[in-house]
Amino acid sequence: MTGSTPSSVDMNEALLLKAQFPGLAGGWHYLDTAATAQKPQAVIDATINAMGRDYATVHRGVYARSAEMTLAFEAARRRTAAFLNGREDEVIFTRGATESINLVANTWGVDNLKAGDRVLLSTLEHHSNIVPWQLLRERTGVQIDVCPLTEDGRIDLDAAARILTPAHKLVAFAHVSNVLGSVLDVRRAADLAHAVGAMLLIDGCQAAPRIALDMIALDCDFYVFSAHKLYGPTGIGVLWARKPILDAMPPWHGGGSMIDRVTFEKTTFAPPPQRFEAGTPMIVEAIGMAAAIDWLCAVGLSRAEQHERDLASRLRAELRRRNDVTLFGPEDSAGIVSFALDGVHPHDLGTILDEEGSDGTRIAIRAGHHCAQPLMDHLGVPATARASFGLYNDESDIEALLKGIERTRRIFGQ
Please answer whether residues 172 and 221 qualify as being in contact, where contact means their C-beta atoms are separated by less than 8 angstroms. no
140 Cβ neighbours under 8 A, 6+ residues apart: 109, 110, 113, 114, 115, 117
Strand partners, 341: 325, 344
CB 117 within 8 A of CB 142: yes
Please state the φ and ψ torsions of residue 223, each to the nearest 5 degrees: -140, 135
Are the beta carbons of 329 and 319 closer than 8 angstroms? no
Identify which of 23, 201, 46 has the alpha carbon closest to the alpha carbon of residue 112.
201
197 SS3 class:
coil
312 touches 336 (CB < 8 A): yes
For residue 14, the surrounding DSSP H or E stretch is helix 11-18
In angstroms, the Cα distances linking 88 to 79, 83, 345 are 8, 11, 47
Q: Is 326 helix (H, G, I), strand (E, B) or coil?
A: strand
The DSSP code for 270 is P
Would you say 148 and 391 are in contact if contact means Cβ atoms under 8 Å apart? no
CB–CB of 173/193 below 8 Å? no
Calpha distance 286→54 (Å, rounded): 14
Q: Is 9 helix (H, G, I), strand (E, B) or coil?
A: coil
Catalytic residue among 147, 205, 297, 371: 371
Q: Element (H or E) spanning 337, and its range?
A: strand 336-341
Say how far apart CA 288 and CA 227 lie, in whole Å: 9
The answer to whether 51 and 237 have CB atoms below 8 angstroms apart is no
Q: Is 371 an active-site residue?
A: yes
Stated as kind and residue range, the H or E segment containing 93 is strand 91-94
Q: Torsion angle of alpha carbons 178, 181, 184, 185, nearest 10°?
A: 150
Active site (catalytic) residues? 371
